[in-house]
Amino acid sequence: MGKDVIIACDFSSKEACLSFLDKFTERKPYVKIGMELFYAAGPEIVKEIKKRGHKIFLDLKLHDIPNTVKKSMSVLSGLDVDMTNLHAAGTISMMEAALEGLTREDGTRPLLIAVTQLTSTDQERMENDLLIKEPIDKVVMHYASNAAKAGLDGVVCSPLEAQKVHETCGEKFLTVTPGVRFADGDKGDQKRVMTPEQAKKIGSDYIVVGRPITAAEDPVAAYNRCVSEFVD
């Protein structure tokens, strides 16, 4: 599986996103479309970005009863995205149903990855709000194993967890890792960060990078720097 840099296009309108992508005239980056942009611009934005030659990770984090998730995944698969995701907390049956819905008639399908515990959930909130008393690392690995059992392709995780996920679920199980910052850059609200180079060394398969590229003075140069540190 090829390593790649995915740009988190966290924009609130179609125009803002497309004028940002217009800057990339040589290499067409892999683009992550999240809830904000999808809810603002709808499926049309997916079709437009796809038409421009980008790969798309549609980050909508589905979590519902298996039948609803299956049918929704079938719609997303029809949009010709390359990767999408759901919450592993929805259980193994929900993940299996999602895979079924995602698989097209010809047997092809987008990659499907699971969110384990959100990085905004810490041990205290997990214990008090969710009544899960196990250590959070164990919960993350358990959810990753469930995703592997259901036949998913990988998980979204911190780069710091990537190695352990590979040890637990196999080298081929994908790790898609946000929380990436340049060594000389601003961390913003991300707490546990790694540089693209460190993420490569530790075995991340894809890095998701937002503000270090989208808010850079020269986004194309920042993207190229990520690619040269992580891919080349």
Q: Is 61 a catalytic residue?
A: yes
Q: Which is nearer to ligand C5P, 70 or 213 (CB)?
A: 213
What is the distance in angstroms between the CA of the first residue and the CA of the last residue of the chain? 14
CA–CA gap between residue 183 and residue 177 (Å, rounded): 17
CA–CA gap between residue 204 and residue 166 (Å, rounded): 9
Note the residue count of the chain. 232
Confirm or reject binding of residue 156 to ligand C5P (CB under 6 A).
Answer: yes
Contact status, residue 202 vs residue 194, Cβ threshold 8 Å: yes
Confirm or reject binding of residue 119 to ligand C5P (CB under 6 A).
Answer: yes
Joined tokens for residue 85: 């995701």
Scanning 14-22, 41-49, 165-173, 207-215 for contacts with ligand C5P by CB under 6 A, the matching segment is 207-215
The least distance separating ligand C5P from the CB of residue 106, rounded to whole angstroms, comes to: 31
Q: Of 48, 190, 225, 227, which one interacts with ligand C5P (CB under 6 A)? A: 190
Q: Where are the alpha helices (DSSP H) in 57-195?
A: 66-78, 92-102, 123-130, 136-149, 159-169
Q: Of 29, 101, 154, 178, which one interacts with ligand C5P (CB under 6 A)? A: 178
CA–CA gap between residue 164 and residue 141 (Å, rounded): 8
Q: Which of residues 12-31 bind ligand C5P (CB under 6 A)?
A: none
Angle of helix 43-51 versus helix 14-21 axis, rounded to 10? 10
Confirm or reject binding of residue 8 to ligand C5P (CB under 6 A).
Answer: yes
Residue count, binding to ligand C5P (CB under 6 A)? 15
The least distance separating ligand C5P from the CB of residue 190, rounded to whole angstroms, comes to: 5
Q: Which is nearer to ligand C5P, 83 or 208 (CB)?
A: 208
Q: Point out the residues that are catalytic.
A: 61
Interacting residues with ligand C5P (CB under 6 A): 8, 10, 34, 118-119, 156, 178-179, 188, 190, 208-212
